[in-house]
Amino acid sequence: MVEQSTRATDRPLPLPRANLLHLLEQMVLIRRFEEKTMEMLALNRIRGYCHWNIGEEASVVGAVTALTENDRLITSYRDHGFAIARGTPPETVMAELFGKEGGCAGGRGGSMHMVDIARGYFGGYGIVAGHLPLAAGLALAADYLGEDRAVLCAFGDGATNIGAFHESLNLSKLWHLPVVWLITNNQYGMGTSVHRASAEAELYKRACAYEMYSEQVDGMDVLSVYEATERLLRRAREDREPSLLETLTYRYPGHSYADAGKSYRTKEEIERWHQRDPIRLFQRYLEEHGILNQGEYDLVERRVSQKIEEAVKFAEESPFPSPDTLFKYLYAEEGTK
Amino acid sequence: MAEGTYRQALQQALREELIRDERVFLMGEEIGLFGGSYKITDGLLQEFGEKRVRDTPISEEGFLGAGIGAAMGGLRPVVEIMTINFILIAMDQIVNNAAKIRYMFGGAIGVPMVIRTPGGAGVGLTAQHSQSLEVWFASTPGLIVVAPSTPADAKGLLKASIRSNDPVLFYEHLMLYNDKGEIPDEDYVVPIGKAEIRRPGKDLTMISHSLMTQRSLKAAEELERNHGISAEVVDLRSLRPLDFDTIAASVRKTNHVLCIEEGWLSYGIGAEIAARVADECFDWLDAPVKRIGGAEVPMPYSKPLESAAMPSHERILEAAIRARRGS
């Protein structure tokens, strides 16, 4: 399927140069950010889980960049990259991982619960497919209030075998809710491959049970993901039609910090996906179109590196929440919503 | 003030809140065209239309979670789960999402929604349709749990719940729906977190909620009449937050305590209250705290068995005498 998709390089430039470079820089930022979190984990600055988006940058950045300012995003726990792609400052994502007050959830959420309501990011959730009904509800609210926005709901391939997935797809089509369901199919739910978990391994086909439009795209090609998501979000906003989009991608590291990712995948398979590294693919595309040269790419890396150093510095310097605030945020205080 | 049923009181609250706030809408199985499985919402679809009164498929996890999302998106959903027995399917949404969203996102957003659901036994609905599971929610931080025992409270607490900025599990009782009482006509709101002394007394504090409060009141009348025991009946009304101040004040007065609940005793509401009374009111106790609750079996069908599994007012009476005697 990956081989069959149309390569971005066959098409004319779909976006202005600045936007293309922005896509690249966001992908590099997420890659380097995640690599830094591995380092910080080893140094015990970060505790608990860490589910990385490494390898999935094109799927994440392509989809999130297609959102308008008004649109809303909600995701699973593999969420660092989604927050960053939505524009959440990397320093507040890093500070969240450090468990600091300056984190985007005040250090209460950690790796799995990034959030940025002001930017329309309604959070990362730790129970597989548990947030899909919430996405339907966010879309319902937008519809109810007559708001010009759509909801993008991202989850992994592992989420498609649980009831909440089916219930949410059914409700969204039944009620014509403006939502795009995004399967980031990285081939494995933890260590169980799609083929060992799903009777229908072509996950996008499941939408047909709900008379819902769906398609599958090359998740290593940022432009394909962007183009499809943008089109489907427009359809959600304008026609009040939900849809299901599957991106075929791969996570290079293991499921989380405790998994090397090697017991259930062959070296050859991992190598094969590395051949289609989303950042290298897009870098090559930009070079072929004369948009980027090696020197300019190096500048991107340098800018990213600086941002990440600043993120770590911010996270280090941000204070830990005081134990006195243990019960803060459990219930609404007077005057809050 | 006019007399009406618990059912009518609930409908009044829903209707008034639908009129008061455009963001309030109802969602649930059979609440519209069918008129509601227990007719709480009968006629509201005709009055308010499909946007405000939304029928759902049999899809508890889906639509309850959609209620949470809608609340986060700026609405005030009132979701009906046909009975509390079906809520288990949506447990993940309530416990992992509704209860935790405000806290785990550092206060960035809340979930102002109400989950209305009836429970309880006594009408022959058997094991899978007769449970009192409200305590499960009452043990979960982040949720509010209320359980009215009278028509007036049904109205006042439901209105307070709809106006709450946090998720409320609103527990109704199947056997109270036809109970009659005075219902205030005006915009009547009962504050959440306040217990009510239903009957003052000086010899024994009887603590309960929902249907068991009505049975306790009946038992208390007989205690006074036939046994010379003056029992104070405390209606918890709100299980989380628990109004322990009212409980403690009563215990200091009567020095004897009986906790009555319909659900299973193990790890239950009475267990919580007994522990706190022992901890905080030990010096005021003249006898051990007693508890009475539902038999720890799946609810049987046959009437004599079902009756034997529930705290009847006669058994509450016996337990009250033992609690007063300390034996």
Higher pLDDT, A7 or B281: B281
Q: What is the pLDDT of residue A335?
A: 64
Give B178-234 pLDDT, tens digit per residue.
999 999 999 999 999 999 999 999 999 999 999 999 999 999 999 999 999 999 999
CA-based nearest distance B176→chain A, Å: 30
Q: What are the pLDDT digits (tens) for B82-140?
A: 999 999 999 999 999 999 999 999 999 999 999 999 999 999 999 999 999 999 999 99
Neighbours of B250 (CB within 10 A): 24
Q: Is A171 on the interface with B (CB under 8 A)?
A: yes
Contact at CB, B70 and A164, closer than 8 angstroms: no
Question: In this prediction, what percent of chain B has a pLDDT beyond 70?
Answer: 100
Select the residue from B100, B104, B168, B240 to test the A interface by mutation, using most A Cβ atoms within 10 A.
B104
Q: Mutate which of B26, B54, B79, B103 to test chain A, going by most A C-beta atoms within 10 A?
A: B103
Contact B72 A134 (CB under 8 A): yes
Burial of A3 (0-12, 13-18, 19+ CB in 10 A): exposed
Integer Cα distance of A120 and A69 in angstroms:
8
Query: What pLDDT, on a 0 to 100 scale, did the predictor assign at position A3?
Result: 41
Q: Is A148's Cβ below 8 Å from some Cβ in B?
A: no
Q: Which of B16, B60, B172, B262 is catalytic?
A: B60
Residues of A in contact with B68 (CB under 8 A): 133-134, 137
Question: Which residues lie closer than 8 Å to B301 by C-beta, 6 or more apart?
Answer: B124, B126, B127
By the CB < 8 Å criterion, does A162 face chain B? no
State the smallest CA–CA distance between residue B7 and chain A in angstroms: 28
Give contacts of B71 with chain A, Cβ < 8 Å.
Answer: 137
DSSP state, residue A204: G
With a CB cutoff of 8 Å and minimum separation 6, the contacts of A125 are: A74, A75, A76, A77, A112, A113, A131, A134, B96, B97
Which range is least confidently modeled, A47-51, B148-152, B305-309? A47-51
pLDDT band at B154 (very low <50, low <70, confident <90, very high): very high
Q: Nearest Cβ partner of B62 from A106, A171, A329?
A: A171
Q: Which of B129, B188, B180 is nearest to B155 (CA)?
A: B188
Phi (first) and psi of residue B67, to 5 degrees = -60, -40
Any CB–CB contact under 8 A between A105 and chain B? yes
Strand duo B238-240 + B53-55: pairing: unpaired
Q: Where in chain B is the domain with CATH 3.40.50.920?
A: 196-325
| B229, B280 Cβ separation under 8 angstroms | no
- Chain region(s) in chain B for CATH 3.40.50.970: 2-183
Domains of chain A: 36-317 (3.40.50.970)
Measured between CA atoms, the residue of chain B closest to residue A334 is B165
Q: Please, which residues have CB within 8 angstroms of residue A275's CB and are 6 or more apart in sequence?
A: none
CB contact under 8 A, A137 and B72: yes
CA A79/CA B166 separation, integer angstroms: 26
Beta-carbon separation of A117 and B104 below 8 A = no
Q: Which of A105, A126, A330 sits opposite B105 (nearest CB)?
A: A105
Chain B neighbors of A174, CB-CB under 8 A: 57
- B32 touches A: beta carbon within 8 Å: no
B317 has a pLDDT exceeding 80: yes
- At residue A304, the 3 state secondary structure works out as helix
In 3D, which of A185, A133, A134 has the Cα closest to residue A155? A185
Give residue B218's pLDDT: 97
CB-CB neighbors (< 8 A) of B103 in chain A: 108, 329-330
Pick A134's closest partner by Cβ from B25, B75, B97: B97
Cis upstream peptide for B241 (omega within 30°) = yes
Class of domain B196-325: alpha beta
Q: Do B108 and A115 touch (CB under 8 A)?
A: yes
- Cα(A247)–Cα(A253) distance, integer angstroms: 18
Contact state of A332 with B165 under an 8 Å Cβ cutoff:
yes
Could you say which of B62, B74, B165 has the minimum Cβ distance to residue A170?
Answer: B62
- Interface membership of B228 toward A (CB under 8 Å): no
Name the token pair of A290.
Answer: 């004369």
Distances (CA, A) of A111 to A269, A321, A326, B316: 28, 16, 19, 51
pLDDT at position B79 is: 98
With a CB cutoff of 8 Å and minimum separation 6, the contacts of A250 are A55, A56, A186, A187, A220, A270, A273
Our answer to whether residue B209 is catalytic in this structure is no
| Rounded alpha-carbon distances, angstroms, from residue B292 to A34, A86, B73, B172, B229 | 56, 55, 43, 20, 18
A18 touches chain B (CB under 8 A): no
Tell me the CATH class for B2-183: alpha beta
Task: Find the CB nearest B107 among A103, A167, A329.
Answer: A329
- pLDDT attached to residue A1: 36
Query: What band does B279 get if pLDDT is binned at 50, 70 and 90?
Result: very high
B60 given a catalytic annotation: yes
Cβ–Cβ contacts within 10 Å for residue B178, how many?
A: 10
pLDDT the model gives residue A2 = 40
Is B58 an interface residue toward A (CB < 8 Å)?
no
**Which chain A residues are closer than 8 Å to B61 by Cβ?**
133, 163-164, 167
Question: CA of B93: which chain A residue's CA is closest?
Answer: A130
ipTM confidence score: 0.96
Can you give the pLDDT at residue A319? Answer: 98
Contacts of B162 (CB under 8 A, 6+ apart): B13, B17, B21, B24, B76, B78, B114
Q: Per the residue annotation, which of B16, B129, B172, B313 is the catalytic one?
A: B129
The pLDDT score that the predictor gives to residue A9 is 52
What pLDDT score does A7 carry?
54
Q: A155 contacts in B (CB within 8 Å)?
A: none
Q: Which of B27, B86, B105 should be substituted to probe chain A, the one whose Cβ sees the most A Cβ atoms within 10 Å?
A: B105
Chain B interface includes A83 (CB < 8 A): no
Instruction: State the DSSP H helix or E strand holding residue B204, giving kind and residue range, or none if neither.
Output: strand B204-208
A332:B166 CB<8 A: yes
The span from the CA of B224 to the CA of A175, in Å, is: 58
Residues in chain A: 337
Cβ contact B131:B263 at 8 Å = yes
User: Is some CB atom of chain A closer than 8 A to the CB atom of B48?
Assistant: no
pLDDT at res. A206 = 97
Per-residue confidence in pLDDT tens, chain A, 337 aa:
344 444 555 567 889 999 999 999 999 999 999 999 999 999 999 998 899 999 999 999 999 999 999 999 999 999 999 999 999 999 999 999 999 999 999 999 999 999 999 999 999 999 999 999 999 999 999 999 999 999 999 999 999 999 999 999 999 999 999 999 999 999 999 999 999 999 999 999 999 999 999 999 999 999 999 999 999 999 999 999 999 999 999 999 988 878 888 899 999 999 999 999 999 999 999 999 999 999 999 999 999 999 999 999 999 999 999 999 999 999 998 766 6
- Cα separation, B30 vs B7, whole angstroms: 16
